Copies of this chain bind each other. A is one copy, B any other.
Amino acid sequence: MKIIDLKNNTTVKAKDLAIERPTIDFALLNNQVAAILAEIKTDRDKAITKYTTQFDGVVLKEISVTQEEITTGIASLSIEIKQAIDIAARNIHLFHEAQKEPIKQIETMPGIVCWRKSVGIEKVGLYIPGGSAPLFSTILMLGIPASIAGCKEVVLCTPPNKDGSLHPAVLYAASVAGIEKIFKVGGVQAIGAMAYGTETIPKVYKIFGPGNQYVTTAKQLVLQEGVAIDMPAGPSEVCIIADNTANPSFIASDLLSQAEHGADSQVVLITWDEAIIPLVRIELDRQLNLISRKDIASKALQNSTIVLVDCKEDAIIVANNYAAEHLIINCLQPELIAENIVNAGSIFLGNYAAESIGDYASGTNHTLPTNGFAKAYSGVSLDSFVKKITHQYVSKEGIKGIAKTVITMANAEGLDAHANAVSIRVSND
């Protein structure tokens, strides 16, 4: 990790510090991905089968997962993992259930009543990347709010293993989240299938979930064709603000838990306590040797930065400019710092709030804005799975009270027919 020292080097001010992020130019893949999408649009299941054979190295008899596979898979999963998934699911359910918005009718003027009603998006698609240890936790993070929102059709696509199976934890998490339509399709072909529909896989209105650069590019391309997506994607990242009360080994463990995600992950430590920096470095070296994804984490640390600032206020400025996906405030009275954070995906307060607790089980959602998108985007929540449809009821009294206002504004905008629609109702009386 390189150090940016704003404490001793006073020529750069905190507000002007732009921490460089690893850049990925997704546009490079546009043509390649667009060609696959076009083929899926035309050839549908035939194209899915072709690319599953080509990219996943599996010839599947059946894209859909059968009830028998689900039952057998789930039976093979350890009780321990099942219990962990159950507890995580319970917490995720609790937190997202509380995001339900009751209908509030507002009578803005006598006889004019306005309200919003949240209605689940009818058809949503969830993409879960594959591999020997697939991210089944993401199934809970997407499937549970979809179920609370009342989405009628929830489609899950995830690539099969080499033997054509899915990991039992994927099947169990899907079952806990109430997902019934599971398809063994990965990569660009999964995104294309859900965007356009095939003979087997239903078309959806919104696609959620993480993925590699091909999947991300495919999501961007179908977005331009009118399919909604959860949010733009970039490499995962954590930022930690630490003071002298922080435990250097806890800090190092959090930095590494982010760094192990991928070589393009980024971790940032901001502190005004110069003394903690060498202690964190020692712990990083020590703990790095204990993890299986050491190579990946080492590469990510090369993209990463320690910022030594002059004071707490400057730490807040740097953190807000960076707009981290995950922000851990590992300080005394973390709430006083959190109050001043305006850009972050999710904030973890205190010495015990490891990012991984939120990643799996505290109840908050782990699908969060990366790459500085936290300046404008929220993470996934119940909101992401509903449309809030506005309603208005206008009575005879209501239109009388507002007629002059509407007619005046419509005329001033040169829209006669807008004015007429009101005057004709009032004069008809």
Q: Please list the residues of chain A having a beta carbon within 8 angstroms of any beta carbon in chain B.
A: 27, 80-81, 83-85, 87-88, 90-91, 94-95, 98-99, 101, 104, 106, 108-109, 112, 114, 116, 119-123, 132-137, 169, 205-206, 220, 224, 226-228, 232, 247, 249-250, 253-254, 256-257, 259-261, 287, 290-293, 297, 334-335, 338, 341-365, 368-369, 371-379, 381, 383, 386-396, 398-399, 402, 404-406, 408-410, 412-422, 424-425, 428
Contacts and interface: CB of A to CB of B under 8 A. Distances in A.
Nearest to A403: B357
A223 to B, nearest CB: 8
15 contacts: A84-B409, A95-B108, A108-B362, A114-B363, A116-B381, A133-B415, A135-B413, A290-B420, A293-B415, A334-B393, A343-B387, A345-B389, A349-B394, A359-B418, A361-B409
A428 B71 CA distance: 40
Contacts of A381: 116, 388, 390
Contacts of A409: 81, 84-85, 88, 136-137, 360-361
- Per assembly, the copies of the chain total 2
B408 A80 contact: yes
Interface secondary structure of A, over-half rule: mixed
B394 A257 contact: no
Contacts of A119: 341-343
Given A254-B421, A357-B394, A381-B116, A220 B224 contact: yes
A386 B293 CA distance: 37
Contacts of A232: 226
Given A362-B112, A364-B114, A406-B356, A250 B396 contact: no
A297 B387 contact: no
